[in-house]
Structure formats: C-alpha cells, structure tokens
C-alpha cells in the first residue's frame, strides 16, 4: 500500500483492530526535510531523533511488543564526514537522554548491527543502555546501527560454517529455524509490518531474512521528521485490513 492522500483511506473500527506484534520502521527523509527548509542535513537528523522518541513511547503505550527502527545502515558510512560526525554526536546525545528520560518507561533497548565500528565512548554508552534496560518487561526496542541485512545473513553463514567446521553441527541439520537463531532478532517474532515514509519504495537492506512475509506500508506524502502518531495509526489501520496468507490460500 502506498499512501498518497491522507483523505482517501477507508475508516476502520480501531477498537476491533488487529495490532502487529512486531513493527519495523525505515526512518527515511531527514536530509530532504532539512533541504526543503534550507537547513543543513544535520538539522533534519536532530528533528528525526525527536520523532523517533515520540513514536517509540507511543508504540509502547498502545501495546506494540517489538519495534525495530533503522537508524544507521552499513551503507551510511559513504555519506560526507561532517554528516557522519554529526550523526554520531546525535546518537551519543540521544543515548544520554534515553538513559534519563526512558528510565521510567518499561522499554527494553537492544542494538542490532556491528557496533564495534563506533567510537569506544559510544560503544560504552550502547552497552550501558542495554544493561540498564535488560530487566524491562515491556516493548523491545531494536535500534539498528551499522546494520545491513546482507551483512547479517553473512554473519549467520560464518557462524554456522564455524559450527560445521568444528564438528558441533551437521550440514543436514541446517534449516530455516536454525538460520533464524543466528539473526540479531532471534528471540523475537519476525516483523509483521514495516513502515517507510518519504516516498521511497525499497527495502534498503533492512531485515532481509526476517521480512519474507512482512506487510509493507509506504507513505508517500510525509518525511520522517514530520511523522506523527496519527500517521503511525494510519499504517496500523492499513495493516489490520490486510489478509495475511503466508503463501497459503
């Protein structure tokens, strides 16, 4: 489904709506949002970070059990150095704020991706954030940083190959279930719904293995910094209208 006009959607009784258990969001459009306003791209990332915090809290409040957000991809290192430096500062400031502001929120934060590529101080803060929220029983928030779906699959292949090589695993025992256990999100269900604002219609290397049967909602008319809780609700409404057959009839 591609949303082009907010007024064209059918109404739905939200009291009877089926919520997805796991939602993924490709937080796209920060740079374009800033460019439209004559601002540096970093300004869009700052506003996008505030939107992220708002949507995270809202998702938890309405009963979403798992939320995965695409914050920084393995390909994002190709961006200009000043933009990457600004993003690292935003990530650091966000984590400092999260440790303070989310302390009362029942949200468990998990980072997926190869975080060893980040500075030691950012890595330390990532580990501290995970440790402090480890006992939380509410929504699981996966923040994908230095994450790429292809890299994740290659990681799984290397780990499984190592088990075969050392004799702890037989090749004939490799199946989809075992492969899934080598994904970053192995303790969680696969995403039911993936939302992408900003008018781009591609997966961008996000949760490639896990999204085999995900429902996608592309939102044409909005960039991530302008994404609201009502936009989130519209995507959830659209998900509830879907007939998910998983290859069956």
Q: Domain coordinates of the chain in residue numbers?
A: 18-240
Question: What's the pLDDT tens digit per position in 129-162?
Answer: 999 999 999 999 999 999 999 999 999 999 999 9
**CATH architecture classification, 18-240:** 3-Layer(aba) Sandwich (3.40)
Rounded to the nearest 5°, which phi and psi values hold at 209? -70, -45
Percentage of residues in the chain with pLDDT exceeding 90? 83
* The pLDDT of residue 58 is above 90: yes
Active-site hit among 13, 76, 237, 243: 76
- Residue 93: active-site member: no
Query: pLDDT category, 28, cuts 50, 70, 90?
Result: very high
Q: Is a pLDDT exceeding 80 seen at residue 2?
A: no
Tell me whether residue 205 is one of the annotated catalytic residues. no
The pLDDT tens digits for 173-228 are 999 999 999 999 999 999 999 999 999 999 999 999 999 999 999 999 899 999 99
Catalytic residue among 28, 190, 192, 231: 28
In the numeric block, which tokens belong to residue 151?
Answer: 């890299």
Which of 21, 46, 77 lies closest to 193 in space, CA to CA?
21
pTM, to two decimals: 0.92
Q: Which residues contact 196 (CB under 8 A, 6 or more apart)?
A: 25, 26, 28, 216, 217, 218, 219
């Amino acid at each position: 489904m591609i949303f082009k006009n907010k007024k064209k959607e059918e109404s739905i009784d939200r009291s009877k709506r089926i919520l997805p258990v796991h939602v993924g969001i490709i937080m796209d459009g920060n740079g374009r949002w800033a460019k439209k306003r004559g601002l540096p791209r970093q300004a869009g990332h700052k506003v996008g970070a505030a939107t992220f915090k708002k949507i995270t809290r809202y998702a938890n409040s309405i009963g979403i059990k798992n939320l995965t957000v695409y914050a920084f991809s393995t390909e994002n290192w190709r961006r200009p150095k000043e933009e990457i430096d600004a993003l690292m500062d935003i990530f650091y400031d966000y984590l400092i704020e999260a440790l303070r502001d989310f302390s009362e929120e029942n949200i468990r934060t998990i980072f997926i991706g190869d975080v060893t590529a980040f500075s030691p101080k950012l890595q330390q803060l990532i580990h501290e954030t995970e440790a402090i929220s480890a006992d939380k029983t509410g929504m699981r928030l996966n923040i994908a940083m230095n994450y790429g779906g292809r890299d994740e699959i290659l990681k799984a292949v290397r780990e499984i190959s190592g088990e075969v090589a050392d004799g702890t695993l037989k090749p004939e025992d490799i199946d989809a279930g075992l492969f899934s256990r080598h994904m970053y999100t192995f303790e969680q269900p696969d995403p039911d719904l993936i939302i992408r604002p900003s008018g781009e219609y591609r997966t961008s290397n996000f949760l490639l293995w896990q999204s085999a049967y995900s429902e996608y909602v592309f939102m044409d008319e909005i960039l991530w910094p302008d994404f609201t809780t009502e936009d989130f609700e519209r995507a959830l409404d659209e998900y509830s209208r879907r007939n998910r057959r998983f290859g069956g009839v």
